[in-house]
Amino acid sequence: MSNENITKEEIMSVFPKVAETMADALGCDVEQVKLEASLIDDLGAESIDFLDIVFRLERAFKVKIPRGKIVEEARGDLTEAQFEQGGVVSEAGLARLKAFLNEVPAERFKSPLKVAEIPKLFTTETFCKMVIRRQRAGAAT
């Protein structure tokens, strides 16, 4: 996965613009948008805000971010059935999420974790990494 080698420098290079974009989208102060802030728990985002944030990030960074990309990339080569059963993330799926969302503190991963709760894990850094991956994908084509 292209996730492993995203450097702190890369993250810090996109962070100010990501933070500004999120603050605009969520109507909060940019100072509140910390790298480790959970968008839902700390910044009060609703799932509808994710679409707005993604749209704004696409514009700000001139990248294309397919919807549902974070969960899809986190799933990697696991099939949907291996990743979740009845809306609950499997052990294998949980391990994959922890590896993929390695910026998220371990204690935030509740077990059992419902698929619908995955966005609660997303932090500002999750979105920084998504932008970087999309930039790399764009540069590769």
The predicted structure's pLDDT at residue 129: 96
Q: Is residue 1 part of a domain?
A: no
| pLDDT digits 0-9 by tens, 51-106 | 999 999 999 999 999 888 888 888 999 999 999 999 999 999 999 999 999 999 99
Structural domain contains residue 101: yes
Can you give the pLDDT at residue 100?
94
Q: Is residue 82 part of a domain?
A: yes
> Rounded to two decimals, what is the model's pTM?
0.92
In a domain, 2, yes or no: no
Give the domain extent around 39.
Answer: 8-140
Q: Which amino acid is at 136?
A: R
- State the Cα–Cα distance between residues 127 and 11, nearest whole angstrom: 10
In this model, does residue 2 exceed pLDDT 80?
no
Would you say residue 3 lies in a domain? Answer: no
CATH code of the domain in which 63 resides: 1.10.1200.10
Task: Judge whether 32 lies within some domain.
Answer: yes
Domains held by the chain: number = 1
Q: Which amino acid is at 80?
A: E
Residue 120 has pLDDT above 80, yes or no: yes
Residue type, 88: V
Report percent pLDDT > 90 for the chain.
81
**pLDDT tens-digit readout, 8-62:** 999 999 999 999 999 999 999 999 999 999 999 999 999 889 999 999 999 999 9
Contact by Cβ (8 Å): 108, 38 = yes
- The Cα–Cα gap between 108 and 120 comes to 9
